[in-house]
Amino acid sequence: MENPVKGTHDIIGDEALLYTEIEERCKTVAALFGYQEIRTPILEHTPLFLRSVGESSDIVHKEMYTFDDKGGRSVTMRPEMTAGVMRSIVSNKLYAEADLPLKYFYLGPCFRYERPQAGRYRQFHQFGVECVGAPSAHLDAEVINLGYHCFSALRVPVKVKINSLGDEESRNNYRTALKEYFAKYIGQMCEDCKRRYEINPLRILDCKVPEDAEIVKGAPKLRDYLTDSAKHYLDQVLAVLESYNIQAEIDDNLVRGLDYYTGIVFEYHAEPMEGLADVGALGGGGHYAHLLKDVGGPDYEGVGMSLGLERLFHVFHHLNGDLPDSFGLDFYVMPMEPKYIGDCAVLVNQLRFNGMMVDMSYEPKSFKSQFKTANRKKAKFAIIIGEDEFKKGEFTVKNLSNQIQTKVRGEDIVNSLRTMLQEYYDSMEMKYFEEHGNE
């Protein structure tokens, strides 16, 4: 028997429906903020990621799926999606054809060769947004707020951690201070830290090796090297977030894993939950000053964020449990005798074309068996069709949550079923607010 490739998994059944629910809520939030969808290829030319993500990052150094195609060209399966969006903006000259800032959201699979663990796979999925072309503390705050709204829409409580990598002067001064500090320790640190020391010492702050992390604790703090303008910009972003009732926590060691970030960087971390171990950051992002220019476009600044859907699913499922009944079918049609299967199929087709989620049994089954199927499919109602129903020109509709049966005339079937569905959803919404209030 063939198993999935290590680090990949099949998303099927209720899990797939929950993923869809997460994705749709995030896409709805992005649309509310005025962002349009963009879809870029999974395969990109390898130099795109070398220029954008940066050779000092673990992604480029250790995790990319890179190979030569049959034409001898080096291509890479995207390890993240921001670089592809920038490339698309340049390739399609979107910066010349659309009003600034450009606002896009994306959704799709990415690929990194790393050790699989809970909520982390080698093929994983990201939802994210990019806002390019009009640098502003308000837009940085808007992107942070958009991500925060996505978690709110999913009712996942998170805290926002934020830091500033500063402007170019701040970073240059800080790199010098870091190299001076780590010079006396670097010989005993891991090989990754030795490489980062030469290319980009800021990456050392993200080291997860316990012995090196202890050394990192004594390193100079970036905030002590920020210029006045960089400090002012961070204060502006924090003030805007506070006006949105988002209390961001400053994290001095937050640097993110991508070299293109400059200025503001941030992450979303799930609040502690009973029965759920810390899953790390559920998403994050930051400001980038020269990324578009680095891939061949104009020197426009931007800001973006992305959410990891696998980790988000893990938390969302922990909070919500199994798939709620409202995710299932609207109606399950049950022919009581084989001779009625054809008529039932016509009814099912009619209801589907009127926007209802409907299925039926296409083979002879017992009454009991069909009800079991309806419950497994989480149908809200069963429509029973037998000899009595055909003689009287009416259908029996059974509410599977309260077992109440209603007779519906055949000529009124579509409107009657729509009314039943609306009453069902109204009662579910009322029940929800009675239990949860305005949390």
- Between 161 and 256, the more confident residue is 161
Q: Which amino acid is at 103?
A: K
Q: Residue range 32-42: average pLDDT?
A: 96
Among candidates 325, 317, 427, which has minimal Cα distance to 376? 325
pTM for the model: 0.84
| CATH number of domain containing 90 | 3.30.930.10
35 — pLDDT class (breaks 50, 70, 90): very high
Percent of the chain with pLDDT over 70: 92
Q: Which of 275, 298, 320 is the last residue of a domain?
A: 320
Which of helix, strand or coil describes residue 414?
helix
Tens digits of residue pLDDT in 278-323: 778 899 999 998 899 999 999 999 999 999 999 999 898 888 776 5
Do 119 and 238 share a domain, yes or no?
yes
| CATH number of domain containing 364 | 3.40.50.800
pLDDT at res. 108: 96
Q: How many domains does the chain have?
A: 2
Tens digits of residue pLDDT in 83-108: 999 999 999 999 987 789 999 999 99
3-state per-residue secondary structure call for 269-337: EECCECCECCCCEEEEEEEECCHHHHCCCCCCCEEEEEEEHHHHHHHHHHHHCCCCHHHCCCEEEEECC
By CB neighbour count within 10 A (0-12 exposed, 13-18 middle, 19+ buried), where does 241 fall? Answer: buried
428 pLDDT more than 80:
no
**43 in a structural domain:** yes
56 pLDDT more than 80:
no
Distance CA 393, CA 411 (A): 8
Tens digits of residue pLDDT in 170-186: 888 888 998 999 999 89
Which tokens is 152 given?
């709110």
Q: Are strands 302-308 and 123-132 parallel, antiparallel or unpaired?
A: antiparallel
The secondary structure of 80-99 as a DSSP string is -SHHHHHHHHHHTTHHHHSP
**133 in a structural domain:** yes
Do 316 and 345 share a domain, yes or no?
no
> In this structure, are residues 59 and 77 in contact, taking their beta carbons and an 8 Å threshold?
no
Do 313 and 345 share a domain, yes or no?
no
Tens digits of residue pLDDT in 222-270: 889 999 999 999 999 999 999 999 999 999 878 776 677 889 999 999 9
Cis? peptide before 41, omega within 30° of 0: no
Percent of the chain with pLDDT over 90: 54
120 pLDDT more than 80:
no
Do 346 and 262 share a domain, yes or no?
no
**392 in a structural domain:** yes
Do 307 and 334 share a domain, yes or no?
no
Do 316 and 334 share a domain, yes or no?
no
pLDDT at res. 278: 77
Q: What domain range includes position 344?
A: 326-436
Do 337 and 310 share a domain, yes or no?
no
**181 in a structural domain:** no
pLDDT at res. 1: 66
Q: Which of 278, 299, 320 is the last residue of a domain?
A: 320
Highest mean pLDDT pick, 218-222, 316-320, 323-327, 332-336: 332-336
Do 307 and 370 share a domain, yes or no?
no
Which of helix, strand or coil describes residue 248?
coil
Do 309 and 360 share a domain, yes or no?
no
- Torsion, Cα of 24, 113, 164, 90 (10° steps): -70
Q: Which of 301, 320, 339 is the last residue of a domain?
A: 320
Q: Residue range 17-25: average pLDDT?
A: 91
- Between 77 and 53, the more confident residue is 77
- Between 208 and 212, the more confident residue is 212
Do 331 and 303 share a domain, yes or no?
no
Do 122 and 235 share a domain, yes or no?
yes
